[in-house]
Amino acid sequence: MIDRRTLLAISLCFGIFIAWQKFYIEPQMLAKQAAQQALSAQQKQALAQNPAQNAQVSPDHSITAGSSAVSAPANREHHPAQNLPIHSGIADARIGDAAEFITEWASKTYRQGLASDAPPVDLQTVTSESSQIDLSFEDKDFAYLANVQGELKPTANGAIWAYEDGNVKMEREFSGQEGSAAAPYLNIAVRVTFKNKHPNYAFLSIGSERLQTKDPEEKDRSLFYFTNNSFERTQLKSVKLEQVSTPVKYVGASTRYFVLALVNDSPIEARALLQPLPNEQGGRISLVYPVTSSQLSFATRSYFGPKELVSLRAVDPTLDHVVDFGWFTAIAYPLLNILKWLYQYVRNYGIAIILLTVLLKVITFPLTYKSMKSMKEMARLQPQLNKLREQYKDNKEELNRRTLEMMRTHGYNPVAGCLPMVIQMPIFFALYRVLYSSIELYHAPFAFWIRDLSAHDPYYVTPVLMTALMFLQQKMTPNTATDPTQQKMMQLMPVIFGAFMLALPSGLTIYMLVNAATSVLQQGFLNKKLDIHGPATASAR
């Protein structure tokens, strides 16, 4: 049993953690959107200082940073800024006549808040930049092209942007489609003619900036690329200058639930370049195209939207790697499919999570039963094992030999007790990643006070109930630990789990709560069937 002072200390820590969440983390989250809007003006200025625009090629043809821009050709007439709408199957964008390809891009379905009038999820929500995608070159004589204004003309499914001066002639052709059968991406074709000389490399770049305030999703903000059948991800706070020398299929920036990606859709093999922003405030990533003549032409599929597997695979079959299910992806996909199948019938992801949890408990029951039988046998041997520990406490080698001999004599296999639990662990971790990362839970309501399964329980009811049920299950379960320190750690595990769940999505907490509740019922059944009397069985001398 936990003594009174230990229980008081645990309760105090629990209270402090809840107060910290309620009065510190939540205000920071509310300030997140305001901070993004305040940074918008600064970010637009920073785009003019894009590191990729100031890149040059060293004598060995490796890409390095540094060089200054030169002035644009004189006598260019400027006209009022223009932009045109363009649509993909899941998002609406606007194309401007400035150097940046996209001036706005917003989801048709997902919003930043629960209110019906909340603004849609857009580029600024995901990357902290309201405009995206720019074209630049490593030669300093073309650096001015980062700030030019072109002419914008509508087409049947999009628009054409055009610019020409004494050095270059450039065209960008945008196309997309509306309707339920439309592709979820925009097609962007780039054509450049160099009139006098040509650079060696062209950069098609996107970027993502870190928030200046406390960001609860910081660990999920990253830049990524795909090369040699391998998906590589770098957190924004860890971006370093990196040249990728192997062919790259796509690059992008992502958060937990949304992504901006550029997929190379031309026969020209592209490489990638990652560059940190000043003061480690984020980074930029570029598709790098070689320029071998006076003509350059390439195309991309550009995607902005949720990390929804069907949409991602429609852009490119390998883009689903951006959904981070960890090491147990092969198990996570079937679990997600079952969850979505259950949702078709109950129309509530909270209920679907409950049903999936119960289903997994039923499937893994034979393993649990076998493990419990092994624990009962181990508990029965504890008095004799304790005598051996006391008798051979100064001779570890003899103690181990005698212990194994006793276990063999009584037909007990320690691996048999651990193996069922080890087999269940991949399922647990896979489901954890599914419930943490799946866009299906984004702003999905459950019941009562839980209105968003992707956010933590606002009143911490489910983590507290889960902790209480784990304590109850612990009292019902045979305890094979005899070391006092190990026993104390086992007693603290429910509190540790409960504290850990306070800040995690409520969908994941509901799973843990239902898992604990079904475990208590299951343990009661097994105790009766196997004539187990809880920890007292293990502590008998």
532: confidence class by pLDDT, cuts 50, 70, 90: low
Distance in angstroms (rounded) separating the CA atoms of residues 211 and 537: 54
Least confident of 78-82, 92-96, 399-403, 483-487: 483-487
pLDDT at 200: 95
58-67, 79-88, 126-135, 200-209: which is most confident:
200-209
23 pLDDT more than 60:
no
Q: What is the DSSP letter of 224?
A: E
Q: What is the DSSP letter of 445?
A: -
Name the more confident of 422 and 238.
238
Domain 81-323 adopts which CATH fold? Beta-galactosidase; Chain A, domain 5 (2.70.98)
Least confident of 43-47, 143-147, 463-467, 487-491: 43-47
Provide mean pLDDT across the span 472-481. 71
59 pLDDT more than 60:
no
416 pLDDT more than 70:
no
394 pLDDT more than 90:
no
79: confidence class by pLDDT, cuts 50, 70, 90: low
The pTM assigned to this predicted structure is 0.78
DSSP 331-397: HHHHHHHHHHHHHHHH--HHHHHHHHHHHHHHHTHHHHHHHHHHHHHHHHHHHHHHHHHHHTTT-HH
pLDDT at 404: 74
Name the more confident of 194 and 220.
194
pLDDT at 537: 44
376 pLDDT more than 80:
no
89: confidence class by pLDDT, cuts 50, 70, 90: confident
pLDDT at 412: 62
76: confidence class by pLDDT, cuts 50, 70, 90: low
pLDDT at 180: 53
pLDDT at 389: 75
Provide mean pLDDT across the span 66-84. 56
386: confidence class by pLDDT, cuts 50, 70, 90: confident
- pLDDT per position as a tens digit, 212-263: 777 777 888 999 999 999 999 999 988 999 999 999 999 999 999 999 999 9
pLDDT at 522: 85
539 pLDDT more than 60:
no
Least confident of 15-24, 130-139, 168-177: 15-24
C-alpha atoms less than 13 angstroms from C-alpha of 424 in its C-beta half-sphere = 19
Q: Which residues, other chains included, contact 15 with Cβ-Cβ below 8 Å and sequence gap of 6+?
A: none
- pLDDT per position as a tens digit, 305-361: 999 999 999 999 999 999 988 888 889 999 999 999 999 999 999 999 999 999 988
Q: Where are the domains of the chain?
A: 81-323, 332-539
Q: Which residues, other chains included, contact 518 with Cβ-Cβ below 8 Å and sequence gap of 6+?
A: 357, 358, 361
Q: Residues 263, 319, 258, CA angle at the centre, nearest 5°?
A: 95
Distance in angstroms (rounded) separating the CA atoms of residues 153 and 72: 23
CA distances (Å), origin 224, targets 50, 90, 100, 297, 469: 18, 22, 21, 24, 41
pLDDT at 7: 45
Least confident of 157-166, 398-407, 502-511: 398-407
User: Mean pLDDT, the chain, as a whole number?
Assistant: 80
**Which of 420, 422, 435, 423 shows the shortest CA–CA distance to 357?**
435
Provide mean pLDDT across the span 189-204. 96
Structure tokens given for 159: 């628009």
